[in-house]
Amino acid sequence: MYDYLTILSGKAHPALAAEIAAYLNITLGRLESWNFPDGEIGVRLEENIRGRDVFIVQPTCPPVNESLMELLVLIDACRRASAERITAVIPYFGYARQDRKDAGRVPITAKLVANLIVEAGANRVLAMDLHAAQIQGFFDIPVDHLYAAPILDDYFLGLGLPESELVVVSPDEGSIKRALQHQERMGGSLCIVDKRRWSATETKQENLIGGPIANLCGGHASGLLRAGVKDSAGSADPRGCGDEQRPAVARTDVSESAGCFGRAVVGRGDQADPPE
């Protein structure tokens, strides 16, 4: 049924590519990837892909630059091997946070990365839960933007949380629309975190905005936090709020479909206060 497909994987997440291939009951494409002594990336396809529909599974997860460059090299190799169509499957799209000029003399790196992928020879991009939906417009090729929300909602609905005590929390202003989509399906109330970023790794939650504040601070609510890119988990740490704003909820569940879990995330998880 899928004889015309070839699925290739770089070194970023070969296990995911193998699971996709197994689900489709096809063999994962064979290739060799290596680093030259100076760090340059080299690849060689070890099977014929001429005229085939090629899917390259390569999230640009840490090391981001290494994974991104390997993706570009793989796309170029497939283009020069006469693939019929090349789809870049990027579950985690690196540099997505830099999608606008929020200060003077800064780049829009998300657009730069989109240009690189297109110029390398990709015909289509498949991404998941982009940091901002408008990133799709940075590409001059079709983008299939998939969402994890239905799967996450089914999971949380299955927990049987009382709707009257459920609060869906947006970790910042940019995630309000996604948080609203969760609330529309699961019910409950909506709360927004007023987040201030002081540096690339430091954020502070100044205020909780919304009607459910009383419930959150009363200790009777169950909070569902829909987080964004999480490499430091500052947005998901209620201790970032001042003592007067810090919620004392019955339980807190954090959902994330494109998490980049660095050491800071593990540290915050170990230090998190247990539910009261």
Read off φ and ψ for residue 36, nearest 5 degrees. -70, 165
Residue 163, pLDDT score: 87
pLDDT string in tens for the chain (276-residue length): 688 999 999 999 999 999 999 999 999 999 999 999 999 999 999 999 999 999 999 999 999 999 999 999 999 999 999 999 999 999 999 999 899 998 899 999 999 999 999 999 999 999 999 988 899 999 999 999 999 999 999 998 998 988 888 888 888 887 888 889 999 999 988 888 887 777 767 777 778 887 555 455 544 456 676 655 555 545 555 554 555 555 556 677 777 776 666 655 555 555 555 544
Read off φ and ψ for residue 124, nearest 5 degrees. -160, 150
Per DSSP, which regions of the chain are E strands?
Answer: 5-9, 31-35, 41-45, 53-57, 85-90, 124-128, 143-146, 166-170, 189-197, 203-209, 222-226, 251-255
Bridge partners (DSSP) of residue 42 are 34
Question: Whole-structure pTM over 0.85, yes or no?
Answer: no
- CA-based angle 1:16:75, to the nearest 5? 75
End-to-end CA distance of the chain: 53
Bridge partners (DSSP) of residue 252 are 223
Per DSSP, which regions of 115-188 are E strands?
Answer: 124-128, 143-146, 166-170
Is 195 part of the annotated catalytic residue set?
yes
Bridge partners (DSSP) of residue 190 are 168
Going from the N-terminus, what domains does the chain have, and what CATH number goes with each? 5-146 (3.40.50.2020), 149-271 (3.40.50.2020)
One-letter amino acid for residue 269 of the chain = G
Is 241 within 8 Å of 213 (Cβ atoms)? no
Q: Which of 177, 195, 204, 230 is catalytic?
A: 195
**Residue 163: closest CA among 128, 188, 131, 194:** 188
Q: Which residues contact 243 (CB under 8 A, 6 or more apart)?
A: none
